[in-house]
């Protein structure tokens, strides 16, 4: 009887975790870094390559994109640099055409772009708002239009959009255009997921919290008036229930999970990577 139980248990053994992207092409929009170091886009690109994917390293900063590509190739991964502005329709069409010519159809779209401007309604001009919307939201529309036909034709594909906890709650300072557009990214991805689920296409949003990336030095520190960079970093860490900021790698690992077959039954939702901050009352 014991042997029978053992045989039954063996027959019911669940499959191994399929964190493998071999043979797939991932298009990472925003794969460079605003300053030296590991941005979410760069860490995600390297992570995808480590899982066997061919990576389209896309950024409007050619030198930064080439640095990401070089990091992947140094580890034996496969990557190619594509330079252009994901918010410009003509550039988007060209970028995807070049990616298809080089690697074939895109299996995973990783949309990792975002700009902002500190200020509320009175400090945000219509031109500011339009510019931020074009980069943060309209670019997701343009990129989706490029990948969806091929994904539908193959009956599979994954879209991963990077939003922000700023799109879910107020973070203590006015950041209107960024917050509104990052909220729009969440809803856009939910709607895409519902419409294309019958075609085998999954779409999810990764929602990072306070992440320790090079962007802190270039933009975020200025939001903490009268403080040094280290003071700004300490203030951000103190806001998080886990007591620290997250790393770009922790966000990248969440993206890799959603891109893989390990997340085959996950679509139309948000994976929040925030150390617990969105659950806080204050």
Strand extents, DSSP E, the chain:
25-29, 54-59, 78-83, 108-111, 157-162, 201-208, 270-273
The CA distance from 253 to 74, in Å, is 20
The CA distance from 24 to 260, in Å, is 10
Token representation of residue 51: 């899982």
DSSP class of 61: -
The CA distance from 5 to 68, in Å, is 51
Radius of gyration of the chain (CA): 20
Q: Are 272 and 278 in contact (CB under 8 A)?
A: yes
Active site residues: 178
Cβ neighbors of 46 (< 8 A, separation 6 or more) are 68, 71, 72, 75, 77, 252
Residue 19 burial (10 A CB sphere; 0-12, 13-18, 19+) = middle
């Amino acid at each position: 009887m014991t042997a029978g139980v053992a045989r039954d248990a063996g027959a019911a053994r669940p499959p191994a975790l399929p964190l493998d992207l071999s043979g797939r092409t991932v298009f990472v929009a925003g794969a460079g870094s605003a300053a030296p170091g590991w941005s979410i886009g760069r860490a995600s690109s390297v992570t995808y390559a480590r899982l066997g994917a061919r990576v389209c390293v896309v950024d409007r900063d050619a030198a930064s994109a080439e640095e990401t590509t070089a990091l992947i190739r140094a580890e034996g991964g496969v990557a190619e640099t594509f330079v252009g502005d994901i918010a410009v329709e003509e550039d988007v069409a060209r970028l995807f055409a070049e990616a298809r010519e080089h690697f074939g159809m895109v299996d995973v779209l990783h949309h990792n772009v975002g700009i902002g401007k500190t200020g509320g309604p009175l400090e945000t001009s219509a031109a500011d708002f339009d510019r931020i919307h074009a980069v943060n939201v309209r670019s997701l529309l343009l990129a989706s239009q490029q990948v969806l036909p091929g994904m539908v034709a193959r009956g599979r594909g994954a879209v991963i959009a990077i939003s922000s906890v700023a799109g879910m709650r107020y973070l203590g300072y006015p950041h209107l255009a960024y917050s509104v557009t990052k909220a729009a990214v969440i809803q856009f991805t939910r709607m895409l997921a519902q419409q294309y689920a019958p075609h085998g296409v999954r779409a999810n949003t990764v929602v990072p919290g306070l992440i320790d990336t090079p962007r802190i030095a270039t933009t975020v520190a200025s939001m903490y008036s009268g403080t040094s960079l280290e003071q700004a970093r300490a203030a951000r860490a103190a806001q998080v229930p886990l007591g620290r900021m997250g790393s770009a790698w922790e966000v990248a690992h969440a993206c890799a999970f959603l891109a893989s077959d390990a997340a085959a039954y996950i679509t139309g939702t948000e994976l929040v990577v925030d150390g617990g901050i969105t659950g806080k009352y204050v």
